[in-house]
């Protein structure tokens, strides 16, 4: 089998071939590492690399598959890239910051524990902006991570290394985290699938396991792979009081969506949206219509306060944490991290309370609307991507020739409102490419805790369009 076929093979297909003894985990790992050694200098998706250990573990997985007792994990032998912010005991975790470049945890995060127990092999950690506090991925520690589709542009953030790795064929599975869109933004910019689960579905690390905006979830190239990984990491953990009981196991097969009612908005009433993003969403909506769904545009009645609501929350909690670091190590931090820290220092309890009131107002229109529809769709990002080395102290976000008045850190991203509505599951799915080659994407938003609905819709859409990355012409030219 050619390496090009191996590096873009889905994880579910690889796992099936492992079980049939038609593919070895060693063969797949070798191809993935060889690809990474070829393209990493161009995209810079990885921070720490564990290639030698990964090859040893792949050989152990191969031996397991050669036995006939069938005792293999759901992810046995599969390479997986883990974002450089969650913990693996004894492995460095830098958070993309010079202030923590030498940190080595002595514990493993609950999600990673489950991945390792299921046989997943962590061959690399993926790049993130400093402390995951930006919608692009570059840091003083690791440099600039570039979009495999057009290296002038960002991969998105903060799980930008994960998105880039999937698009470049250097991992079949990856993990991301999402506090303002950090799974969905890079999924959109890199043309992959990203799932923000409802709050509590997957365990998270303290103290942000107690922040309802915070979610950890899978990033993949197919819907089935997202289901595979999500079914491994979900469920209650004794280390996270917010994790939900009982464990939800997503189906792998779904009924058609014929007869569904789908609501959509191009701009949420808030954003200027790039013409390529709109055009590709229109095409996607036509696909849903062809599947027998009714598609209707709705007005949520949201105002600019829907954006400010999210920013007040993030600045008060996330910004406060960053400010604690900046007080001592500000001279080592990036300008965007220091900017976030300053906002945290200025935040007040009154502003945080206003963010709670804002969330109530948003759901007061969104909740009743969703009683009439099975699904809500909108773009994931209003612009395919900003430039790779975007500097919020100097640059502006310009969409359709207009400078966005929204906070620069998230001005091009339509994700944060659904961190505010944190109990709604959201699946980011590719819709095509812009004229500059950068992918575009849509968010499939379900009713609260109706995870299976977004996967049912995503699976129907993916099947109808024939999937992604299946042919060489549908892959980045690296």
Q: What is the pLDDT of residues 9-24, one digit of tens each?
A: 999 999 999 999 999 9
Q: Please name the residue that has the structure tokens 């993949």.
A: 220
Q: Is the pLDDT of residue 47 over 80?
A: yes
pLDDT of residue 472: 79
The token pair that represents 404 in the structure block? 């966005």
Instruction: Report pLDDT digits (tens) over 255-296.
Output: 999 999 999 999 999 999 999 999 999 999 999 999 999 999
Q: How confident is the model at residue 1 (pLDDT cuts 50, 70, 90)?
A: low
Instruction: Report pLDDT digits (tens) over 184-213.
Output: 999 999 999 999 999 999 999 999 999 999
Q: How far apart are CA 73 and CA 56, in angstroms?
A: 17
Q: Name the CATH superfamily for 3-474.
A: Amidase signature (AS) domain (3.90.1300.10)
Q: Is the pLDDT of residue 473 over 90?
A: no
Provide the residue count of the chain. Answer: 478
Considering Cα of 312, then 318, then 324, then 329, what sign does the dihedral take? Answer: negative
59-86 as b/e: b if 16+ CB within 10 A: eebbebbeeeeeebbbbbbbbbbbbbbb
User: Per mean pLDDT, which range of 49-58, 93-102, 348-357, 464-473 is the poorest?
Assistant: 464-473
Domain ranges of the chain: 3-474
pLDDT of residue 69: 77
Q: How far apart are CA 292 and CA 3, in angstroms?
A: 39
Q: How confident is the model at residue 471 (pLDDT cuts 50, 70, 90)?
A: confident
Average pLDDT over residues 370-380: 98
Q: Is the pLDDT of residue 100 over 90?
A: yes
Instruction: Report pLDDT digits (tens) over 154-172.
Output: 999 999 999 999 999 999 9
pLDDT of residue 61: 97
Contact criterion met (CB below 8 Å) for 284 and 431: yes
The token pair that represents 175 in the structure block? 């993990």
Q: How far apart are CA 45 and CA 215, in angstroms?
A: 21
Nearest to 29 by CA among 64, 13, 53, 48: 53
Average pLDDT over residues 322-344: 97
Averaged pLDDT of the chain:
97
Percent of the chain scored above 70 by pLDDT?
100
């Amino acid at each position: 089998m050619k390496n090009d076929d191996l590096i873009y093979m889905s994880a579910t297909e690889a796992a099936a071939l492992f079980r049939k003894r038609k593919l070895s985990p060693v063969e797949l790992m070798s191809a993935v590492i060889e690809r990474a050694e070829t393209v990493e200098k161009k995209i810079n998706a990885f921070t720490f690399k564990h290639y030698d250990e990964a090859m040893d573990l792949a050989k152990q997985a191969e031996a397991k598959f050669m036995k006939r007792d069938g005792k293999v994990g759901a992810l046995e032998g599969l390479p997986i890239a883990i974002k450089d912010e969650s913990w693996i005991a004894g492995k460095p975790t830098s958070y993309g910051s010079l202030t923590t470049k030498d940190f080595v945890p002595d514990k493993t995060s609950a999600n990673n524990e489950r991945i390792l127990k299921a046989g997943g092999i962590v061959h690399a950690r993926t790049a993130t902006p400093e402390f995951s506090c930006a919608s692009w991925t570059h840091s003083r520690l690791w440099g600039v991570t570039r979009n495999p589709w057009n290296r002038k542009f960002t991969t998105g953030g903060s799980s930008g290394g994960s998105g880039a790795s999937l698009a470049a064929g250097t991992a079949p599975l990856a993990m991301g985290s999402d506090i303002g869109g950090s799974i969905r933004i890079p999924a959109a910019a890199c043309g992959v699938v990203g799932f923000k689960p409802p709050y509590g579905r997957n365990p998270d690390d303290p103290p942000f396991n107690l922040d309802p905006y915070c979610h950890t979830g899978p990033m993949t190239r197919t819907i089935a792979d997202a289901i595979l990984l999500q079914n491994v990491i979900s469920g209650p953990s004794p280390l996270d009081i917010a994790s939900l009981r009982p464990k939800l196991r997503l189906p792998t097969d779904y009924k058609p969506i014929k007869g569904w009612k789908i609501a959509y908005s191009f701009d949420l009433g808030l954003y200027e949206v790039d013409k390529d993003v709109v055009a590709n969403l229109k095409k996607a909506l036509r696909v849903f219509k062809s599947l027998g769904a009714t598609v209707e545009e709705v007005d949520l009645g949201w105002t600019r306060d829907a954006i400010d609501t999210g920013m007040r929350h993030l600045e008060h909690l996330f910004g406060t944490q960053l400010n604690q670091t900046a007080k001592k190590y500000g001279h080592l931090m990036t300008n965007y991290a220091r900017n976030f820290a300053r906002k945290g220092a200025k935040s007040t309890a009154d502003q945080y309370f206003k963010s709670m009131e804002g969330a109530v107002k948003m759901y007061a229109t969104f909740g009743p609307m969703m009683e009439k529809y099975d699904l809500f769709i909108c773009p994931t990002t209003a612009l395919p991507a900003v430039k790779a080395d975007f500097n919020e102290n100097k640059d502006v976000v310009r969409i359709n020739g207009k400078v966005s008045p929204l906070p620069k850190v998230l001005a091009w991203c339509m994700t944060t409102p659904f961190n505010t509505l944190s109990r709604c599951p959201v699946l980011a799915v590719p819709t095509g490419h812009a004229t500059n080659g950068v992918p575009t994407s849509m968010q499939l938003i379900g009713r609260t805790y109706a995870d299976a609905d977004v996967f049912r819709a995503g699976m129907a859409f993916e099947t109808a369009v024939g999937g992604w990355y299946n042919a060489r012409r549908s892959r980045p030219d690296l």
